[in-house]
Amino acid sequence: MNLLKEVLANEVYPAFGCTEPISCAYAAATAAAELGEPVASLTVKVDPGTYKNGAAVVVPNSGGGKGNLIAAVLGAILARPEEKLLVLQGATAETIARAQALIDGGKCRLECDNALEELNIDVQVAGSRHRARCVLAGGHTNVVRIEKDATEVFSAGDAPAAKGGLAYRQVLQKLTMAEVLALADAWDAEDRAYLRRGVEMNLSMSEWGFEVRGSAYQLRQMQRDGFLADDMFFRAKIRVGSAVDARMNGMNQAVMTSGGSGNQGVVAILTPYIVGREMGVEAERILQSIAVSHLVNAYIKCFLGEVSVICGCAMAAGIASATAIVYQQAGIDIRRITMAVSNVIGDLSGLLCDGAKPGCAMKAITSVDSAIRSALMALKGYGLSADDGLLGRTVEDSLKNLGQITLQGMFRVDSTMLAILKEKISSNCRE
């Protein structure tokens, strides 16, 4: 098993819009294609993390609509599962009108199953004669079951993916950080071209961010007013923040993900890319460090889960970026990489994920600042010690501790967060 290729295939891919709503669109498109007739009604049931991440984010090509439901209905009308997470690129004004009519007619509903602990999207559609169903689990594009008229058409059976896990992750989790980093040595010309495409896509998205006048726009104004220096930190934060601003506000353009998340892809790709360019690192070395960034992000997901209670941009992509920056300068120097990881965890552990929304750019900017600062400190030999809070003596111990805090200590946070979000959505509907 080539773990680098597994990670790139399963966690690094183009996504048109926030990955949770677009995964709902993909599942709905898969079910609708199996249905074989126009969709008359739809029900989408999701896990709490997916519900949270779709609550307030603008869905591209939706006419400004927000959330998992409008994404799923648009996907069902388009019924093009072969497009995967690019499915909504084909939406038109007519598609939006048909989707809104179904929703306004009370034919579609969204449910959150609080008992689900991992990513799980279950879409059921009905037409005039048939019914169909598609279930995704364990990954944003990982179909584990398809049914038509209650008859099984496809099932992942007893494979790990059917139980919400992916086989390569079970292998990845057993590795040490040094072994994970060494996986980048297996890259080939195909991988290099794919990594380069990711850089180009995410840089392109960042060009649009100032149009929405969000967090990155405000940073630029602060710099022009003399409050911020135009330095490497600023330029990296502007690029990342601008891309997230554009994406979370529904820009009709795809980004390359990391760990199955578009925002994490922006952080994990652009941060080491910009720092590498600024510090004069060879182009091929920068690309290889981005491969490292994707591998580390995937590795962290093994400990924290697919959709976590804490901010993935801060913890997963932040740690991945810091590791990649150290790798650019020092290779697989576990002492310095441990310092960088410890610095990020010591800085940002506990930063909550309150769903995907335009404000994510603020957290992404914080993540970039911490990643660069943590890496540069580590390269100079400074890192927080194992005596500091939840940090362990090794990267693996620190990640296990972080996972324990996240999955056990903070298990009630998501339910509280969901209650707040549901009340906000209910209040908006009543207004």
pLDDT for 307 equals 76
pLDDT for 164 equals 42
Long-range contacts of the stretch 272-276 (C-beta < 8 A, 24+): 272/321, 272/324, 272/325, 272/328, 273/199, 273/203, 274/232, 274/235, 274/236, 274/239, 275/232, 275/236, 275/325, 275/328, 275/372, 275/375, 276/325, 276/328
Rounded CA gap, 41 and 124, in Å? 8
pLDDT for 356 equals 85
pLDDT for 160 equals 46
Mean pLDDT by 10 residues, the chain (431 residues): 95 94 97 97 95 90 94 98 96 97 96 90 97 94 95 79 66 96 98 98 94 93 97 98 95 95 97 98 98 97 84 93 98 98 94 88 96 98 93 94 85 81 68 49
Residue 185 makes CB contacts below 8 A (sequence gap 6+) with none
Q: Return the closest-CA partner of residue 303 out of 135, 174, 122.
A: 174
In angstroms, what is the C-alpha Rg of the chain? 21
Phi, psi of 392 (to 5 degrees): -105, 180
To 5 degrees, how large is the angle CA 179–CA 162–CA 16?
A: 75
DSSP 253: -
pLDDT for 163 equals 41
Rounded CA gap, 92 and 150, in Å? 32
Burial class of 408 by CB neighbour count within 10 A (0 to 12, 13 to 18, 19+): exposed
In whole angstroms, how far apart are CA 340 and each of 325, 346, 351?
9, 10, 18
Residues of the chain with CATH 1.10.4100.10: 175-418
Rounded CA gap, 56 and 383, in Å? 37
Host H or E run for residue 256: strand 255-256
Rounded CA gap, 331 and 243, in Å? 28
Residue 97 makes CB contacts below 8 A (sequence gap 6+) with none
Rounded CA gap, 243 and 267, in Å? 9
Contact 271, 371 (CB under 8 A): yes
To 5 degrees, how large is the angle CA 265–CA 308–CA 378?
A: 60
**CATH top-level class for 19-163?**
alpha beta
Contact 323, 340 (CB under 8 A): yes
Tokens of residue 20, six digits = 């949770």
For domain 175-418, give the fold: 2-methylcitrate dehydratase PrpD (1.10.4100)
Residues of the chain with CATH 3.30.1330: 19-163
